[in-house]
Amino acid sequence: MIRPQWNRLYVPILLMAALLVIPAVAFPAAPAEQRPCADELEKFCKDVPHGEGRVLKCLQDHDSELSAVCRDKVNEILKRA
């Protein structure tokens, strides 16, 4: 029996689509409590290079503009450092 040519093209595409969808369903985005400074990082520090404490310093520079949750997280990190 001769298989149609479309199987060679569409089956791998369907498998790839399934592999891309499974992680999105299995691992939903982290809630805001797990990323308390996400908005502040995007707003104030998105162009700051990572490493050597530069991002933390950027957040400290904007302390008065941070949300309470983010400010608490920054202070927690500073206490541990």
What is the tens place of the pLDDT at every residue in 2-12? 555 655 666 66
pTM of structure? 0.58
- Percentage, residues of the chain above pLDDT 70: 58
19 or 34, higher pLDDT: 34
31-40 contacts, C-beta under 8 A, 24 or more apart: 33/69, 36/67, 36/69, 36/70, 36/72, 36/73, 37/66, 37/67, 37/70, 37/73, 37/74, 39/67, 39/70, 40/65, 40/66, 40/67, 40/70
Give the pLDDT confidence score for residue 35 in this predicted structure: 83
Give the pLDDT confidence score for residue 15 in this predicted structure: 65
pLDDT above 70 for 46 = yes
Average pLDDT over residues 45-50: 92
